[in-house]
């Protein structure tokens, strides 16, 4: 069953947040003082999250990315993922993590049926990593990446949010990670999700990132695979892996967006920056699967043609990423 929005885009991808909790406090994800934690009673149970997921697959979703916060901090996440992986019609189950808990959990994740991992890593330098994450241990992330390889993950994506004056000098070093290992290293433009009057000065465009890489490497454009997401991919000549650039600010990829989102509290969004949301809890609590499917279809019909990052920034509307699933 194919699912299309009003602009003819095929919607086959659900980003599903399972928690707002996180063991890091990244500077672009939440304010320095943190955010008010959502009450446990307001967070969907794993059974309810499965209900949402199965309803989404029933109407045409083929790929689910489990996110947080940090999804691995939620107790019981492994059995949930194992159950989710058995959903008939689901073609790809993937997970986004900061990697801190991967050393202990990578093997279990692979056995549970998670196909690939997106690992957030914004610096290769301990001091810079500590500053960006407000206290994170970079060695645990390195150990987690190694554990993921040893567990048999063939698709490991490393995501770097590039911030001018903070970590932009490391772009070429990140790309070098692909030379001998089959990683997908993706560079993401800094977005104004929090109140930040200097966001434009911090943002480095995808074209500038590619320019930095071209100073050291010869890049060869690569075509996207099915359900690859918004990145434009390149390969350094002879490299085992690929580099990608994700450009939500400088070059909208909205025309090929294929996703909807559901937060850990059951709020569905057609776009990360959408102002209109839809509460799925009434349909979940009523046990009305058909109404839940119809509600998800409605969310697809409200999907905007383009996001509104700049407009939200001008109005100082904050969007703590830990609460919407990144």
> Regarding beta strands 63-67 and 92-97, do their DSSP bridges make them parallel or antiparallel, or are they unpaired?
parallel
117-155: string of b/e by CB count within 10 Å (b at 16+)?
Answer: bbbbbbbbeeebbebbbeebbbebbebbbebbeebebee
User: Percent of the chain scored above 70 by pLDDT?
Assistant: 91
Q: Say if residue 309's pLDDT is above 80.
A: no
Handedness of CA 27, 308, 301, 11 (dihedral sign): negative
The answer to whether residues 266 and 52 touch, using CB atoms and an 8 Å cutoff, is yes
For the chain, the farthest-separated pair of C-alpha atoms sits apart, in whole angstroms, at 58
- The average confidence (pLDDT) of the chain is 91
**Alpha carbon distance 279, 131 (integer Å):** 36
- For the CA atoms of the chain, what is the radius of gyration? 19
Please determine, for residue 110, whether its predicted confidence score (pLDDT) is greater than 60: yes
- Among 59-73, 120-134, 157-171, 212-226, the minimum mean pLDDT is found in 212-226
- Residue 206 has φ and ψ, to the nearest 5°, of -60, -35
Residue of higher predicted confidence among 150 and 201:
150
Instruction: Reply yes or no on whether the pLDDT at 234 is more than 60.
Output: yes
Q: What secondary structure letter does DSSP report for 257?
A: -
Report, as an integer, the average pLDDT of 289-302: 97
Helix, strand, coil % in the chain, rounded to nearest 5: 35, 20, 45
pLDDT digits (tens, 9 = 90+) for 75-96: 999 999 999 999 999 999 999 9
State the pLDDT at residue 124.
98
181, 209 Cβ separation under 8 angstroms:
no
| Position 229 pLDDT exceeds 50 | yes
What strands lie across the sheet with 63-67, from one edge to the other?
219-222, 232-236, 242-246, 184-189, 155-162, 116-120, 92-97, 63-67, 13-17, 259-262, 267-269, 277-279
Query: What percent of the chain stands above pLDDT 90?
Result: 76
Tell me the pLDDT band of 319, cut-offs 50, 70 and 90.
low
For residue 29, the model assigns a pLDDT of 85
Half-sphere exposure of 251 (CA within 13 A, CB side): 14
Its pTM stands at 0.92
- The Cα–Cα gap between 248 and 223 comes to 19
């Amino acid at each position: 069953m194919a699912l299309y929005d009003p602009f003819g885009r095929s919607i086959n991808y659900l980003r599903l947040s399972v928690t707002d909790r996180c063991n890091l406090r990244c500077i672009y994800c939440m304010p320095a003082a943190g955010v008010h934690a959502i009450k446990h009673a307001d967070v969907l149970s794993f059974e309810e999250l499965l209900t949402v997921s199965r309803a989404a697959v029933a109407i045409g979703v083929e790929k689910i990315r489990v996110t947080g916060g940090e999804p691995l901090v939620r107790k019981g996440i492994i059995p949930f993922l194992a159950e989710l992986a058995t959903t008939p019609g689901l073609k790809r189950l993937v997970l986004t993590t900061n990697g801190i808990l991967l050393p202990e959990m990578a093997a279990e994740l692979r056995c549970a049926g998670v196909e690939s991992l997106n690992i957030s890593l914004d610096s290769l330098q301990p001091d810079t990593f500590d500053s960006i994450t407000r206290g994170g241990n970079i060695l645990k992330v390195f150990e987690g990446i190694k554990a993921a390889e040893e567990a048999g993950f063939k698709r490991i994506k490393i995501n770097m949010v590039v911030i001018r004056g903070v970590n932009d000098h490391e772009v070429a070093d990140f790309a070098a990670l692909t030379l001998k290992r089959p990683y997908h290293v993706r560079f993401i433009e800094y977005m104004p999700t929090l109140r930040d009057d200097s966001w434009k000065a911090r943002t480095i465009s995808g074209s500038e990132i590619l320019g930095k890489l071209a100073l050291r490497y010869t890049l060869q454009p690569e075509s996207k695979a099915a359900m690859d997401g918004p990145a434009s991919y390149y390969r350094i000549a002879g490299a085992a892996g690929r580099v990608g650039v994700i450009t939500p600010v400088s070059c909208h990829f909205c025309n090929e967006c294929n996703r909807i989102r559901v937060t850990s509290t059951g709020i569905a969004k057609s776009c990360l920056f959408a102002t209109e949301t839809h509460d799925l809890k009434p349909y979940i609590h009523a046990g009305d699967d058909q109404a839940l499917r119809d509600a998800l279809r409605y969310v697809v019909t409200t999907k905007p043609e383009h996001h509104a990052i700049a407009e939200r920034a001008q109005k100082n509307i904050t969007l703590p990423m830990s609460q919407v699933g990144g």
